[in-house]
Amino acid sequence: FLIENSAQSLCDLLAELTDNPEKLARAGRGARETIYRHWDSVVDEVYQRYRVLADRHGKPSLARLDRSRRARQFA
């Protein structure tokens, strides 16, 4: 369900979905499959992004976080 990035496009799509229960169910299934993310994957992604930013801006080492991450992996 790709739409233009506008309030009107979203409104039009929602109106279409409410008029078509089959499409609404398909949209719901698709949302559940793509929106849900396990917390561990979110933490790992944020951690990697933080490391890139810290390295890019010359911030102190993330050694303490690295140790914590390793401990969590082996727990």
Among left, alpha and beta (phi > 0; psi -120 to 50; other), residue 4 is: beta
Q: What is the per-residue pLDDT across 22-58, written as a single tens digit (0 to 9) for each? A: 999 999 998 888 777 788 888 888 888 888 888 888 7
Q: Indicate the pTM of the whole model.
A: 0.43
Write down the domain spans for the chain.
Answer: 1-36, 39-74
C-alpha–C-alpha distance, residues 16 and 53, integer Å: 42
Per-residue pLDDT reduced to its tens digit, 63-72:
666 666 666 6
